């Protein structure tokens, strides 16, 4: 590999772009053409170069991989979930990359002799494939058929299959170019699914009758506005199919009776720019969560017979300090998913008495995720809870008695002891005086003397909540003395709707200055120093990495930018690229002079300069539909011509995957081990946990 110790040089073929009164010269525009053999050759040369540079870490990568793998209960199963007369669950087997989807009859829950029925073995589907992703998995209401979709390229374009569960045979109803939305009507013969346009936007809703040629499937709805995507779900009551059309800041919902799948969809309330709402069904009414006259959202009710805004009645009023994310309706309870002071909350309302209470959590930093909860007529709410020191724990919560029952706690092998670790919530002062929360985990008893390596992550976009939960893989860092932290910066939704709006469009730079403020606060508090501080972010978090590295390269020892959105101007000027038009409301439209000037002032690719940069590891996916591979490739190529340091600059492109990286669980661990080895290597830390 000696020939690869010299960095690859991508030839410059300047392309001129004129916009407004400005001229952009893009020397690496040619890297967009994946059919050009020179493009593939360049990506492969970069892969060979990074492999050669990190060759001394191969043993360390293997050690880290074995550490992380040794913590996994490799042969395991999920908590069974009742749907009708069956318990459904997934299980894994040692040595197998993917889950096996199974079920057993309800009356056989405690019968060890009951015959398990394997519905789908993803390991068999993945045989011979470089990538294997399941997009949809829906059993028909009569539980006789399974509809599932498969992606073997990582580009999130799925082919839909239907399996007869009695015979195990696939039906002839094979439908390509589908997306995540998929639901059965109650007749178990009618399927609704979404189709993609050329920009991979789910813009059509189709109705399919079993046995029909998909070419004659009925078009239920087509969305012409390129800012909007179609989403599909079935109400927990199983009474309605809910069709949501949404952009970054506007939404509209239609509904179809699940018992009458041929009925044309009926609208809840026509879209109005800037107004968002979501719908859950209960009895003769809809619960509607909306930001109409409520920045942090409120909950309304409306009759199913006439659900327009004229009939909306307030059920939960707007609160300045509490953000309502959504609701879930059960037969006798309404579950409200809220956020307050940066933490997720669960509010339960008894619909017979209107009495409300919250589920109490004791950790200073925590998160939870909702399980499927398919049954409507139950008082049990299932969710998965974790904190940075508490492994994922599946709870059944009795909404009447308020009793939590542990159904399963993820096993962490290797004598993991949570009492050895501590979590904290810190607050940094942003440039404009705003307090920004930071979640921190580390070994107990550390001295705040600035002598600790620290990994700081961030995202800060789309109003997403970047909560710090349990990460068994991070134990390989914590056991080596690391502090692991997450910055909950503006652009995310952790602190309410205003928090999101203050980090998007013409306020986007708050995201970057918030992150820098968090890094500076951790240094000032004695957690670390710049030579020991590594930062990491993916996708829009990769944009964050590029921006803060341009702004404060002196502050960080190393940067991991995963599938980073770094070529903001060129991407947002091209409506043919997936997500571009739909994200004008997130980033702005550069054909508008004001947005162009602002975006150009922070776009990482357009703001590279001749200066010293930290060590950089950049990743890409050749089939990535969200952040095209050429963005990180162009960024690295340009950076090579400008950086004045001798630090590592590495580009690793997964030539057989997309935005999420490897699909197999062991392959994923190898990717994490690769990143951790990069971190330890640049910090000069090759000690094992036992030596720490």
Catalytic positions, please?
Answer: 539, 624, 659
Nearest CA to 39 out of 49, 29, 48 is that of: 29
Q: Residue 540: helix, strand or coil by DSSP? A: helix
DSSP assigned state of 337: E
Residue linked to tokens 């590029």: 546
587's enclosing H/E stretch is: helix 584-587
Nearest CA to 286 out of 259, 260, 266, 271 is that of: 266
Q: Residue 669: helix, strand or coil by DSSP? A: helix
**Token pair of 351, please?**
């619909």
**Residue 550: alpha-carbon gap to chain centroid:** 25
**Residue 485 Cα distances to 345, 488, 521, angstroms:** 21, 10, 12
Phi, psi of 105 (to 5 degrees): -60, 150
**Residue 343 Cα distances to 182, 336, 363, 455, 467, angstroms:** 31, 14, 10, 21, 8
Half-sphere exposure of 139 (CA within 13 A, CB side): 22
**Residue 429 CB burial class (10 angstroms; 0-12, 13-18, ≥19):** middle
CA–CA dist 189, 211 (Å, integer): 9
Q: Residue 662: helix, strand or coil by DSSP? A: coil
CA–CA dist 544, 536 (Å, integer): 9
CA–CA dist 555, 613 (Å, integer): 10
Sign of the C-alpha dihedral computed for residues 576, 581, 586 and 592 taken in this order:
positive
* Contact between 446 and 475 (Cβ < 8 Å): no
Q: Residue 381: helix, strand or coil by DSSP? A: strand
**Residues 6+ positions from 11 with CB-CB distance below 8 Å:** 38
**Token pair of 666, please?**
């062991």
Nearest CA to 126 out of 657, 632, 552, 670 is that of: 657
Number of CB atoms found within 10 A of residue 609's CB: 11
Phi, psi of 4 (to 5 degrees): -95, 5
Phi, psi of 426 (to 5 degrees): -110, 165
User: Can you point out the beta strands (E) in 185-319?
Assistant: 190-196, 202-209, 218-222, 229-234, 240-246, 251-257, 266-267, 277-282, 285-290, 298-303, 313-316
**Residues 6+ positions from 293 with CB-CB distance below 8 Å:** 318
Beta pairing, strands 218-222 & 333-340 = unpaired
DSSP string, 30-74: GGG-TTSHHHHHHHHHHHHHHHHHTGGGHHHHHHHHHHHHHTB-S
**Residue 11 Cα distances to 29, 38, 66, 240, 654, angstroms:** 11, 10, 40, 56, 22
CA–CA dist 356, 346 (Å, integer): 10
* Contact between 376 and 237 (Cβ < 8 Å): yes
The number of helices, as runs of H, and strands, as runs of E, in the chain is 12, 38
Q: Residue 641: helix, strand or coil by DSSP? A: helix
* Contact between 131 and 139 (Cβ < 8 Å): no
21's enclosing H/E stretch is: none
CA–CA dist 448, 342 (Å, integer): 25
User: What is the widest separation between alpha-carbon atoms in the chain?
Assistant: 76
């Amino acid at each position: 590999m000696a020939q690869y110790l010299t960095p690859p040089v991508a030839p410059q073929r300047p392309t001129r772009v004129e916009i407004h009164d400005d001229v952009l010269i893009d020397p690496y525009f040619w890297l967009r053409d994946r059919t050009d053999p020179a493009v593939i050759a360049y990506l492969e040369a970069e892969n060979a170069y990074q492999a050669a540079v990190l060759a001394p870490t191969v043993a360390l990568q293997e050690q880290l991989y074995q550490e992380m793998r040794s913590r996994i209960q490799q042969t395991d199963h999920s908590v069974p979930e009742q749907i009708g007369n069956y318990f459904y669950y997934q299980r894994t087997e040692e040595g197998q990359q993917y889950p096996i989807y199974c079920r057993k009859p309800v009356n056989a829950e405690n019968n060890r002799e009951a015959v398990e029925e394997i519905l789908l073995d993803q390991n068999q589907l993945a045989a011979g494939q470089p990538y294997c992703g399941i997009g949809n998995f829906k059993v028909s209401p009569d539980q006789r058929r399974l509809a599932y979709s498969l992606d073997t390229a990582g580009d999130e374009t799925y082919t839909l299959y239907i399996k007869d569960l009695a015979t195990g045979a696939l039906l002839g109803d094979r439908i390509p170019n589908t997306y995540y939305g998929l639901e059965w009507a109650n007749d178990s013969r009618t399927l609704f699914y979404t189709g993609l346009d050329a920009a991979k936007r789910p813009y059509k809703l189709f109705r399919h009758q079993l046995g029909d040629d998909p070419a004659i499937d009925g078009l239920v709805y087509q969305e012409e506005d390129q800012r909007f995507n179609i989403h599909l779900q079935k109400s927990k009551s199983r009474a309605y199919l809910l069709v949501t059309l949404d952009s970054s800041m506007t939404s509209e919902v239609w509904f179809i009776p699940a018992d009458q799948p041929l009925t044309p969809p009926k609208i809840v309330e026509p879209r109005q720019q800037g107004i968002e709402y979501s719908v859950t069904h209960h009895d003769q009414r809809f619960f509607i969560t909306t930001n109409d006259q409520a920045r942090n959202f409120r909950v309304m009710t409306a009759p199913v017979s006439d659900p327009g805004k004229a009939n909306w009645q307030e059920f939960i009023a707007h609160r300045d300090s509490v953000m309502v994310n959504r609701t879930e309706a059960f037969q006798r309870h309404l579950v409200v998913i809220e956020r307050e002071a940066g933490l997720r909350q669960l509010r339960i309302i008894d619909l017979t008495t209107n009495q409300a209470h919250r589920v109490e959590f004791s950790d200073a930093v925590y998160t939870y995720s909702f399980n499927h909860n398919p049954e409507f007529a139950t008082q049990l709410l299932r969710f998965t809870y974790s904190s940075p020191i508490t492994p994922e724990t599946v709870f059944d919560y009795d909404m009447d008695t308020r009793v939590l029952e542990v159904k399963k706690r993820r096993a962490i092998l290797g004598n993991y002891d949570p009492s050895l670790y501590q979590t904290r919530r810190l607050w940094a002062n942003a440039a404009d005086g705003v307090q920004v929360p930071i979640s921190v985990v580390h070994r107990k008893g550390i001295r705040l003397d600035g002598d600790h390596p620290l990994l700081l992550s961030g995202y800060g976009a789309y109003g997403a909540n970047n909560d710090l939960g349990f990460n068994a893989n991070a134990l390989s860092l914590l056991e080596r003395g690391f502090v692991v932290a997450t910055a909950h910066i503006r652009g995310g939704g952790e602190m309410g709707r205003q928090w999101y709006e203050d980090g998007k469009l013409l306020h986007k730079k708050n995201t970057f200055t918030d992150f820098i403020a968090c890094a500076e606060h951790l240094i000032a508090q004695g957690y670390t120093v710049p030579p020991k501080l590594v930062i990491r972010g993916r996708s829009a978090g990769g944009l964050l990495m590029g921006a803060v590295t341009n702004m404060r390269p002196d502050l960080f020892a190393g940067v991991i930018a995963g599938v980073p959105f770094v070529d903001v101007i060129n991407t947002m000027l091209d409506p043919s690229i997936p997500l571009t038009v739909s994200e004008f409301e997130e980033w702005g439209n550069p054909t508008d002079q004001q947005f162009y000037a602002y975006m150009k002032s922070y776009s990482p690719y357009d703001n590279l300069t001749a200066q010293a940069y930290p060590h950089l590891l950049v990743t890409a996916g050749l089939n990535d539909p969200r952040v095209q591979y050429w963005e990180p490739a162009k960024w690295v190529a340009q950076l090579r011509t400008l950086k004045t340091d001798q630090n590592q600059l590495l580009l690793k492109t997964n030539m057989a995957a997309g935005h999420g990286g490897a699909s197999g669980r062991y392959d994923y661990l190898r990717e994490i081990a690769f990143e951790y080895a990069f971190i330890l290597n640049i910090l000069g830390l090759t000690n094992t946990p036992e030596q720490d």
